[in-house]
A and B are shown apart, each in its own frame.
Chain A
Amino acid sequence: MSYSKPKFKEKYSNFINGKFVEPIGGQYFDNTSPIDNSLIAKYPRSQKEDVELALDAANAAKEAWGNTSATERATLLNKVADIIEANLEEFALVETCDNGKPIRETLNADVPLAVDHWRYFAACIRSEEGSATELDQNTLSMNIKEPLGVIGQIIPWNFPLLMLSWKLPPALVTGNCVVLKPAEQTPSSATLLMEKIADVFPPGVVNIVHGFGPEAGKPLASSSRVDKVAFTGETTTGQLIMQYASKNLNPVTMELGGKSPNVFFNSVMDADDAYLDKAIEGAVLFAFNQGEVCTCPSRILVQEDIYDAFMARVVERTNAIIQDNPYDINTMVGAQASNDQYQKIQSYFKIGKDEGAKVLTGGAANKLSGDLANGFYIKPTILEGHNKMRVFQEEIFGPVVCVTKFKDEAEAIEIANDTLYGLGAGVWTRDAHQLYQIPRAIKAGRVWVNCYHAYPAHAPFGGYKKSGFGRENHVMMLNYYRQTKNMLISYDKNKLGFF
């Protein structure tokens, strides 16, 4: 079964104060599809004054929204979930068109997972409560959670609707108003969502401002009228956003990527069974979403005594990947999100080969035929080398994995942790001791054990080291968008006796 490019309007607007609003300066940018480099539509090239307009709306709405009941807010989140679910195919098509990822994934992963995150946070807020402690016979300490106010959110282009659904629901359900800037590569699904849910929230509660990082992102991140900034992206911009936040003494959450190790111990090959099959797939998951995942398992570490046999199976499975038209339901790997990413990945092939890495498969762009010849396709690639090579240390953000071998547990841990980052990791073994001890020794915020690339709403996600700080998802996320009001109440009628 094959789909085709969805229909778009000629141009779209920002969503501010419950209405679609043209950018004040009247400027737009062309948004293109990486599938064939064709035009999708024009989106607002917003400037500081557009961001200010959204901040006016959010600040005007925050008092009333912050005072709504948890029941009311949760009900609205559930309504959004129902609307996305009812339009699942439309969202999936728009996402595939804008990002280049295969329709198989948007239909079965991106959009259903987005729906679930809205529902999850609606459920969280209904089931949690504050705390009260009797500190002594006459003194009660009550902790009431209060919203921060207005949140600025800057989201990436690799999972546009899902990343929006990681960030928006927890901020909204805790009583905050939001100004969100989608990535300029992928503004479409956020816009479609606003079209579908325009009347769900009171005006000013959700605001979407499109535009470029230096023109719209920077004024949002540096504004003294936001109470928190949440960012997913790269390290230099992350540092800049933290600097701006420091001027306003605002909290920030940073998710800045990784170079995640996927570690395979020799016991995975003890039998040729369903588990080994799963482990091989686990290694090939580097190609999932074209490798454009912050937790891409981009380093495979294999114990030396199974290295040749295991890698033969991994190469075979990688070679069986179908890379074709992303609208085709059989396609497993689609297009990279933009030309600059496409060029960057190829520049890493060159330095990888220069440094002596051996190409086990792939290692080049994939020129598809017809309209797709203008798209940005990279062959799923396995490079063999050692951990000090640049291709082992830098996030390539493509369907590219670097593989090396290790002798024993100590060396596996050493190589796994020899990276600036610490976002994700995978550990594969049939040994019950390794199952626990190795994940504990790896310095990463999420260690998948005998699985990889699962992102349930009820599991916290975030980085160690240069991968950032703060967590997303899980009920703990609610407190990243709140402060604690402590009420210390005395029921003692007698004075202290000091004065």
Chain B
Amino acid sequence: MMKRVTITKKAAKVLEQLKEKHGDLIFHQSGGCCDGSAPMILEKGDLYLDESDVLLGVVEGVNFYMNQDQFEYWKHTHLTIDITEGRGASFSLEIPLGLRFLIHSRLLTDKEDNFFNSKK
């Protein structure tokens, strides 16, 4: 099964920890300044989502969304969610741990690109 979004073991461990504390979660890829261009982890139901948010995949039971406008520029890339030491200034839930989720990207392979982008 091909996936657009995967997660590193280290990041998955932090995700587990956050799920225990906060319950159901979602990822939403942010844009813009400061701590933008990074994924935000939020309690499910906190952020209002509608058809303008694209579901890119599910990692460890957590949906990963991105705004449609932004997705247009991202759809040919594969994303790996990782975690690093740091201090974001957003409302993302891992920040109090002194950690920050981070995206590593690569181009989709031709096979993946066919699978994800030629269906429509």
Q: What residues of chain A have their CB less than 8 Å away from a CB belonging to chain B? A: 29, 45, 156-158, 183-185, 212-215, 217-218, 232-240, 243, 255-258, 292, 294, 338-341, 343-344, 347-348, 350-351, 354-355, 388, 390, 393-397, 420-421, 466-467
Contacts and interface: CB of A to CB of B under 8 A. Distances in A.
Given A235-B30, A257-B36, A214 B91 contact: yes
Contact of B91 (A232, A237, A339): A237
A354 B78 CA distance: 11
Given A157-B89, A343-B102, A394-B73, A237 B33 contact: no
A239 B47 contact: yes
A390 B105 contact: yes
Contacts of B107: 354-355
Interface string B64-87: 000101100110010000001111
B95 to A, nearest CB: 5
B95 A184 contact: yes
Interface of B: 28-38, 40, 42, 46-48, 67, 69-70, 73-74, 77, 84-93, 95-96, 98, 100, 102-107
A340 B87 contact: yes
Nearest to B80: A347
B38 A233 contact: no
Q: Which of B30, B67, B69, B103 has the most CB of A within 10 A?
A: B30
Nearest 9 interchain pairs by C-beta: A340-B86, A257-B33, A234-B36, A257-B32, A340-B100, A236-B30, A183-B89, A351-B105, A256-B32
Contacts of A344: 37-38, 102-103
A227 B47 CA distance: 21
22 contacts: A157-B89, A213-B95, A214-B91, A233-B90, A235-B30, A235-B36, A236-B29, A236-B90, A237-B35, A243-B48, A257-B32, A257-B33, A258-B32, A294-B33, A338-B86, A339-B86, A340-B84, A340-B86, A340-B88, A354-B107, A395-B36, A466-B31
Contacts of B87: 184-185, 338, 340
A466 B96 contact: no
Contacts of A234: 30-38, 90
A184 B87 CA distance: 7
A233 B89 contact: yes
Contacts, number: 166
Nearest to A388: B73
Nearest to B84: A343
Given A158-B34, A234-B33, A213 B69 contact: no
B41 to A, nearest CB: 9
Contacts of B69: 420, 466
A390 B77 contact: yes
Contacts of B91: 213-214, 217-218, 236-237, 240
A339 B84 contact: yes
Contacts of A394: 31, 36-37, 70, 73
B102 A397 contact: no
Of residues B47, B67, B103, B105, which shows the largest number of chain A Cβ atoms within 10 Å of its Cβ?
Answer: B105
A161 to B, nearest CB: 16
Contact of B96 (A215, A232, A340): A215
Contacts of A157: 34, 89
Nearest to B30: A236
Contacts of A218: 91
B31 A214 contact: no
A499 B48 CA distance: 50
B34 to A, nearest CB: 5
A294 B32 CA distance: 8
Contacts of A185: 87, 89
Given A157-B89, A340-B85, A340-B86, A236 B34 contact: no
A239 B37 contact: no
A236 B40 contact: yes
Given A214-B95, A390-B73, A156 B34 contact: yes
Nearest to A242: B48
A258 B105 contact: no
Contacts of B86: 338-341, 343
Max chain A C-beta neighbours (<10 A), residue from B29, B37, B42, B74: B37
Given A214-B93, A236-B47, 7 more contacts: A183-B34, A184-B95, A212-B95, A233-B34, A233-B90, A236-B40, A240-B42
B84 to A, nearest CB: 5
Contacts of A467: 32
A292 B36 CA distance: 11
A390 B29 CA distance: 14
A1 B74 CA distance: 46
Nearest to B100: A340
